[in-house]
Amino acid sequence: MASTPVLSKSQSGVVLIISLIMLLLLTLVGLTGMQNIGLEEKMAGNMRDSNLAFQAAESALVAGEAASLKKPVIACPGVNPVGLYKYKVLPNGDLDIDCDDVSDPIQVPKPV
């Protein structure tokens, strides 16, 4: 005679409870990982924005330096406040500016 396995008629469901607890733990680990990824993504975005702002400021400084070297700076304190001056270019490339003679003036931008 072959023996048949005897099944317990009073199963307590321990495997179900343990598997639900493990599922809860894995869910918590996954949620924590997602929060960390979101935080790291925000940090990387802020670092990128900071770098872009720095590069824009550096670019503005370079453009300002180039503009200041390109335009003549006129030092005529208190004379001819409208910014009209007569000038001529000397042979060496410098400007000879006459702040008092405004006959036939040429507009030269004043420094800001």
Residue 102's pLDDT is 55
Total of domains in the chain: 2
Q: Each residue of 59-100: pLDDT tens digit?
A: 989 888 877 777 555 556 555 555 566 677 788 877 777 766
Tell whether 9 is covered by a domain: no
C-beta of residue 95 within 8 angstroms of C-beta of residue 72: yes
Same domain for 67 and 87? no
52 and 26, same domain (yes or no): yes
For residues 32 and 59, state if they share a domain.
yes
State yes or no: pLDDT of 46 exceeds 80.
yes
The answer on pLDDT for 43 being more than 90 is: yes
d(CA 29, CA 32) in angstroms, rounded, equals: 5
Structural domain containing residue 91: 72-107
Domain shared by 67 and 81, yes or no: no
Per-residue pLDDT, 31: 93
Q: Do 83 and 106 contact (CB within 8 A), yes or no?
A: no
Query: Mean pLDDT, to the nearest integer, of 30-38?
Result: 92
Assess whether 81 and 50 both reside in one domain: no
Would 6 be classed as within a structural domain? no
pTM greater than the 0.85 cutoff:
no
Indicate whether 21 belongs to any domain.
yes
Instruction: Please indicate, yes or no, whether residues 21 and 66 belong to a single structural domain of this protein.
Output: yes
